[in-house]
């Protein structure tokens, strides 16, 4: 099944009269990109992708006008927040309109335990306002805290800093309510709560446009960034695992990163990190520091850096910008051949699995683990770095992970299914049928819609026929 | 080894001049008791126990004067908070002085994430002040929230409401600092943090007198009391287990209580609870209610009661007064023959173990589980009720639990070791040697001190030779 979109751009534009529009090709291309280039495979596939126009609505009424016009003119619409995704989530594979939600960025209301925002609100700005209002902050944020939008995070992210305490975005309770506009002749406004949220969460905007987000808040603290070093990688892993399971110690982030990554790629922290050290990157509640230090001393961890007593921590990036995909970013900046994979080391045999993978690949796949709660259990998620040689070897590395019981969430694919559970998400598909009957929202990202007969078991990469041609 | 204490009470009294003293035998006996009578075995052993005097210091200087005088005159000293223990923790087995810390009850300072209190501060009062100050509350509290003192909880408790999120008191980080006065010729003041806290935590005041407590705080919410009913006990268990493992749902309390206990013994909630229903007793964060209700509906749980929408919830006890040892108390009030045991159903086979125990005993041992975090994992702790017949059968029920892989923390013993891990705690013993060289603090509670040759493997009950005789 080949999908193409033919539309009259000028006629569509006329319907957008009064709405902020950008059509300078260089600026449109800038707003058509995310961090897809972390992946050498996506870099090859998506480098040329661009939209035709960028529309920047100032409120929900304008969003509805835009969607109505796009529906009438069969124009593909790809929503965009901060553009901080890594899998082409916000990239318009079939050209059309970029729906830039950056100007809908207000924090609308703050209550005990919850905040209501416009979709383009920047996560760090939300925290700034909720902290000032009542000492509260979001439970979870990506390492792109300073630039990511809240709806982009909900639509394209899965977890991050805070997941050690709260699990992932998909865990019920971590998003409270989404207001969504459908892509129909007469767009409807829906309010989703409870299980219904799964219809549009992590759907890349393929089946509705989020115009309001209600998120839970938790107590804000002046988290202390700490780096703890070990001579042995597996000691770092065991330390992080035990730390995550220490129920009385309040931490917001626990990552383990194998030598030589920390010394070699964390340039601004380099002076604190001896070359051979594997490092735990941590964010610790200030009132937990005494107990944390006692715990760490008993585990024979060496505190290499702590921001609360550091002589001059001002020029240093925050700990969360050493973690999650910022680890990858810092490595890429020094060595552009680096890429990464995402995997999971499921308990109770997580330690053994990590040992196996470490033995199998050594420094070709430097360890990077993010410890999170998953179904109630502390679970190391791998965001392992890869010293990339060929795409074939990259596929082989992923295959060897799966053969050793470590499922891959493939960051080298632009579709929802291949990057996730490798199966059709019927809840999301059904909602797309209802909310985007013409399939105009972010085309090419949901295989179940584009090619219902696609065989996930065949291990072949899905190539969206509607992907615009190079040049 | 027999221990007796001979002392000149009048001479001792003279040294206490200016300190509030009570010697009316009826009032002294009242202050010599706790809730030991939950246990038919302890009831027989301890019913007659009383001290000679009660001293009520108003500050740490008076505590030091009292300890100095007691050391000089060889007077046993048993500290007392709210007297809400269940194992005779605060009962003076060898007479002597009751050190009543009830008047040292001030909240001294509140900071982000922590509170500093005097030892006798009532837990509910601490929360009242920290809530008013900055929307904070203690992480953990016993079901005797309204009457228990903070130092009594630390010295004699193990966990409670909030343990589903934070684990137990002994988990590092759940107590931040204790200030302790030793029982020596010249009492010393020690400040304990980190692992050192274990020297005096859950030591029943056998090796030091706590004069200041620093505890971590968390965000306070207007927790919603909810009762969820099921026709099947095991469905209740599985629901609570899944709820505890739902990382995005913020709850402060999850208990599962088997039919017919809820209907029969929760008299003021009886109209909400059909007779055959097993019940989950829950405290849910208000902002989690939508997600919680969606979760519960999918699990086919029937919401029998929720305090946030109940017509007239004013006359009802709070949910936490249906849980922990208040479950036992409510049963005892209706049927005085009821008692209880404490056990643990360790994951990953916790569900199977609960099924086995349920099959083995049926309604002789009605199920009561408190779900807590234990070493990072959601773990059902049994506070099972017992329809008591004979002490022999009670011992047999406990033995059968242990034979089926469910360790018993015996609430029918007054010693630290028998109620706990059935082994010597060298950290506590060493600290007693240092801080109470004459063994005057709460005599008879630490077997390791009283009888170093006691054989825990022999399964015989320890009988303290110094226990005052009946009458």
- Specify the CATH number for the domain of residue A237: 3.40.462.10
> Which of B134, B248, B294 minimises the CB distance to A174?
B248
Closest CA to B112 of A217, A222, A251, A165: A222
With CB atoms and an 8 Å threshold, state whether A248 touches B136: no
* pLDDT tens sequence across A106-143: 999 999 999 999 999 999 999 999 999 999 999 999 99
> Which of B172, B173, B291 minimises the CB distance to A172?
B291
Residue A276 forms contact with B (CB below 8 Å): no
With CB atoms and an 8 Å threshold, state whether B294 touches A193: yes
As for how many domains chain B has, the answer is 1
With CB atoms and an 8 Å threshold, state whether B374 touches A247: yes
Output the pLDDT for position B1. Answer: 37
Phi-psi region of B388 (alpha: psi -120 to 50; beta: other; left: phi over 0): beta
Per-residue pLDDT of chain B (471 residues; tens, 9 = 90+): 345 788 999 999 999 999 999 999 999 999 999 999 989 899 999 999 999 999 999 999 999 999 999 999 999 999 999 999 989 999 999 999 999 999 999 999 999 999 999 999 999 999 999 999 999 999 999 999 999 999 999 999 999 999 999 999 999 999 999 999 999 999 999 999 999 999 999 999 999 999 999 999 999 999 999 999 999 999 999 999 999 999 999 999 999 999 999 999 999 999 999 999 999 999 999 999 999 999 999 999 999 999 999 987 788 999 999 999 999 999 999 999 999 999 999 999 999 999 999 999 999 999 999 999 999 999 999 999 999 999 999 999 999 999 999 999 999 999 999 988 889 999 999 999 999 999 999 999 999 999 999 998 887 888 888 887 764
- Treating both helix axes as pointing N-terminal to C-terminal, what angle do A350-361 and A391-403 enclose, rounded to 10 degrees? 150
Instruction: Name the strand (E) or helix (H) holding A413.
Output: none
With CB atoms and an 8 Å threshold, state whether B287 touches A113: yes
> Which of A193, A195, A247 minimises the CB distance to B166?
A247
> Which of A113, A348, A373 minimises the CB distance to B247?
A373
As a whole number of angstroms, the distance between CA A53 and CA A13 comes to 9
Residue A65: how many CB atoms within 10 A of its CB?
19
> Which of B217, B285, B373 minimises the CB distance to A247?
B373
On chain B, the residues whose CB falls within 8 A of the CB of A114 are 287
Q: Given a cut of 80, is residue A44 above it in pLDDT?
A: yes
Question: What is the least distance, in Å, from the CA of B178 to any CA of chain A?
Answer: 13
On chain B, the residues whose CB falls within 8 A of the CB of A288 are 113, 173, 216
Q: Given a cut of 70, is residue A271 above it in pLDDT?
A: yes
Q: Given a cut of 80, is residue A48 above it in pLDDT?
A: yes
Rounded to 10 degrees, what is the CA torsion of A193, A196, A201, A207? Answer: -120
| B191 assigned to some structural domain | no
Residue A114 forms contact with B (CB below 8 Å): yes
Residue of A nearest to B298 (CA): A195
Residue B287 forms contact with A (CB below 8 Å): yes
Residue A219 forms contact with B (CB below 8 Å): yes
On chain A, the residues whose CB falls within 8 A of the CB of B293 are 194
With CB atoms and an 8 Å threshold, state whether B221 touches A113: yes
Output the pLDDT for position A443. Answer: 95
Residue of A nearest to B137 (CA): A219
* pLDDT tens sequence across A342-377: 999 999 999 999 999 999 999 999 999 999 999 999
Average pLDDT over residues A79-87: 93
| A131 assigned to some structural domain | no
Parent domain of B283: 224-403
> Which of A111, A195, A291 minimises the CB distance to B194?
A291
Interfacial A residues in 18-77 facing B (CB < 8 Å): none
Residues in Cβ contact with A295 at an 8 Å cutoff, skipping those fewer than 6 apart: A242, A243, A246, A249, B172, B173, B194
Tabulate helix, strand, coil % of chain B (nearest 5): 35, 20, 45
Residue B365 forms contact with A (CB below 8 Å): no
As a whole number of angstroms, the distance between CA A52 and CA B271 comes to 65
Rounded to 10 degrees, what is the CA torsion of A182, A184, A187, A191? Answer: -30
As a whole number of angstroms, the distance between CA A422 and CA A117 comes to 32
Residue B458 forms contact with A (CB below 8 Å): no
Output the pLDDT for position B422. Answer: 86
Residue of A nearest to B140 (CA): A248
Residue A134 forms contact with B (CB below 8 Å): yes
Handedness of CA B348, B351, B355, B357 (dihedral sign): positive
Q: How would residue A313 be classed by pLDDT, with cut points 50, 70 and 90?
A: confident
With CB atoms and an 8 Å threshold, state whether B221 touches A112: yes
Output the pLDDT for position A311. Answer: 83
As a whole number of angstroms, the distance between CA B232 and CA B367 comes to 12
* pLDDT tens sequence across A139-194: 999 999 999 999 999 999 999 999 999 999 999 999 999 999 999 999 999 999 99
Q: How would residue A461 be classed by pLDDT, with cut points 50, 70 and 90?
A: confident
| A330 assigned to some structural domain | yes
Helix (H, G, I), strand (E, B) or coil at A182: coil
> Which of B287, B294, B373 minimises the CB distance to A216?
B287
| B346 assigned to some structural domain | yes
Output the pLDDT for position B206. Answer: 95
Q: Which two tokens stand for residue A331?
A: 């490595």
| A96 assigned to some structural domain | no
With CB atoms and an 8 Å threshold, state whether A378 touches B376: yes
| A37 assigned to some structural domain | no
As a whole number of angstroms, the distance between CA A401 and CA A194 comes to 34
Closest CA to B323 of B160, B154, B214, B444: B160
On chain A, the residues whose CB falls within 8 A of the CB of B136 are 219
Residue A442 forms contact with B (CB below 8 Å): no
Output the pLDDT for position B471. Answer: 47
Output the pLDDT for position B2. Answer: 43
Question: What is the least distance, in Å, from the CA of A132 to any CA of chain B?
Answer: 13
Residue B282 forms contact with A (CB below 8 Å): no
Interface test with A, best of B137, B173, B295 (most A CBs within 10 A): B173
Interface test with B, best of A247, A289, A300, A373 (most B CBs within 10 A): A247
Q: Are strands A209-219 and B251-257 parallel, antiparallel or unpaired?
A: unpaired
Residues in Cβ contact with B370 at an 8 Å cutoff, skipping those fewer than 6 apart: B163, B254, B255, B323, B324, B380, B381, B383
Interfacial A residues in 224-263 facing B (CB < 8 Å): 244-250
Q: Are strands A53-56 and A97-100 parallel, antiparallel or unpaired?
A: parallel
> Which of B194, B195, B294 minimises the CB distance to A195?
B294
Residue of A nearest to B115 (CA): A287
| B241 assigned to some structural domain | yes
> Which of A111, A166, A298 minimises the CB distance to B248?
A166
With CB atoms and an 8 Å threshold, state whether A248 touches B294: no
Residues in Cβ contact with B312 at an 8 Å cutoff, skipping those fewer than 6 apart: none
| B202 assigned to some structural domain | no
With CB atoms and an 8 Å threshold, state whether A247 touches B194: no
Q: Where are the alpha helices (DSSP H) in B90-171?
A: 123-134, 150-156, 163-166
Output the pLDDT for position B470. Answer: 61
Residue A285 forms contact with B (CB below 8 Å): yes
Q: Which two tokens stand for residue A318?
A: 């925050």
On chain A, the residues whose CB falls within 8 A of the CB of B250 are 113, 173, 216
Interfacial B residues in 366-385 facing A (CB < 8 Å): 373-378
Residue B158 forms contact with A (CB below 8 Å): no
- Tokens 């420094």 label which residue? A363
Q: Given a cut of 70, is residue A471 above it in pLDDT?
A: no
Interfacial A residues in 169-208 facing B (CB < 8 Å): 171-174, 176-177, 193-195
With CB atoms and an 8 Å threshold, state whether A247 touches B219: no
Residue B35 CB-density burial (10 A; 0-12 exposed, 13-18 middle, 19+ buried): buried
Q: Give the Å distances, CA to CA, from A10 to A17, A438, A442.
A: 11, 20, 21
Residue A140 forms contact with B (CB below 8 Å): no
**Chains A–B, number of C-beta pairs less than 8 Å apart:** 151
Q: Given a cut of 70, is residue A1 above it in pLDDT?
A: no
Q: Given a cut of 80, is residue A233 above it in pLDDT?
A: yes
Q: Which two tokens stand for residue A458?
A: 């065949």
Output the pLDDT for position B287. Answer: 98
Residue of A nearest to B169 (CA): A248
Q: Give the Å distances, CA to CA, from B347 to A350, B119, B373, B421.
A: 16, 35, 11, 18
Interface test with A, best of B291, B375, B381 (most A CBs within 10 A): B291
With CB atoms and an 8 Å threshold, state whether B222 touches A248: no
Residue of A nearest to B167 (CA): A247
Average pLDDT over residues A248-274: 97
């Amino acid at each position: 099944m080949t999908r193409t979109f033919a539309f009259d751009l000028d006629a569509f534009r006329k319907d957008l009269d009064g709405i902020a529009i950008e059509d300078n090709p260089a600026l449109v291309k800038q707003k058509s990109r995310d961090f897809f280039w972390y992946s050498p495979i996506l870099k090859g596939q998506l480098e040329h992708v661009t939209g035709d126009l960028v529309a920047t609505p100032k409120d929900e009424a304008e969003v509805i006008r835009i969607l109505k016009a796009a529906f009438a003119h069969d124009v593909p619409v790809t929503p965009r927040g901060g553009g901080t995704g890594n899998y082409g989530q916000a990239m318009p594979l079939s050209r059309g309109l970029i729906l830039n939600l950056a100007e809908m960025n207000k924090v609308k209301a703050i209550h005990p335990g919850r905040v209501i925002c416009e979709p383009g609100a920047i996560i760090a700005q939300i925290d700034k306002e909720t902290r000032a209002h009542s000492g509260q902050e979001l439970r979870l944020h990506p390492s792109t805290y300073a630039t990511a939008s809240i709806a982009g995070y909900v639509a394209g992210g899965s977890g991050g800093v805070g997941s050690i305490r709260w699990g992932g975005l998909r865990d019920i309770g971590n998003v409270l309510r989404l207001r969504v506009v459908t892509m129909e002749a007469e767009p409807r406004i829906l309010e989703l709560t409870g299980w219904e949220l799964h219809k549009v969460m992590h759907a890349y905007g393929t089946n509705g446009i989020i115009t309001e987000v209600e998120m839970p808040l938790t107590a804000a603290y002046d988290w202390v960034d700490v780096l703890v070093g070990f001579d042995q990688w597996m000691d770092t892993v065991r330390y992080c695992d035990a730390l995550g399971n220490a129920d009385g110690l309040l931490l917001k982030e626990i990552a383990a990163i194998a030598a030589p990554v920390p010394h070699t790629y964390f340039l601004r922290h380099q002076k604190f990190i001896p070359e051979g050290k594997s490092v735990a990157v941590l964010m610790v509640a200030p009132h937990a520091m005494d107990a944390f230090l006692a715990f760490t001393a008993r585990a024979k961890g060496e505190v290499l850096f702590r921001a609360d007593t550091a002589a001059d921590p001002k020029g240093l990036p925050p700990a969360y910008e050493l973690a999650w995909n910022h680890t990858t970013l810092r490595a890429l900046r020094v060595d552009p051949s680096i890429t990464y994979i995402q995997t999971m080391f499921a308990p109770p045999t997580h330690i053994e699995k990590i040992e196996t993978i470490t033995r199998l690949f050594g420094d070709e796949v430097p360890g990077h683990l993010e410890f999170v709660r998953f179904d109630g259990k502390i679970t190391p998620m791998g965001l392992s770095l890869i010293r990339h040689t060929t795409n074939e070897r990259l596929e082989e590395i992923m295959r060897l992970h799966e053969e050793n019981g470590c499922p891959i969430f493939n960051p080298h694919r632009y579709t929802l299914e291949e990057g996730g559970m490798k199966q059709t998400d019927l809840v999301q598909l059904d909602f797309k049928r209802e909310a985007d009957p013409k399939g105009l929202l972010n085309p090419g990202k949901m295989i179940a819609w584009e090619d219902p007969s696609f065989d996930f078991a065949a291990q072949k990469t899905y190539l969206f026929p509607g992907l615009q041609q190079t040049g």
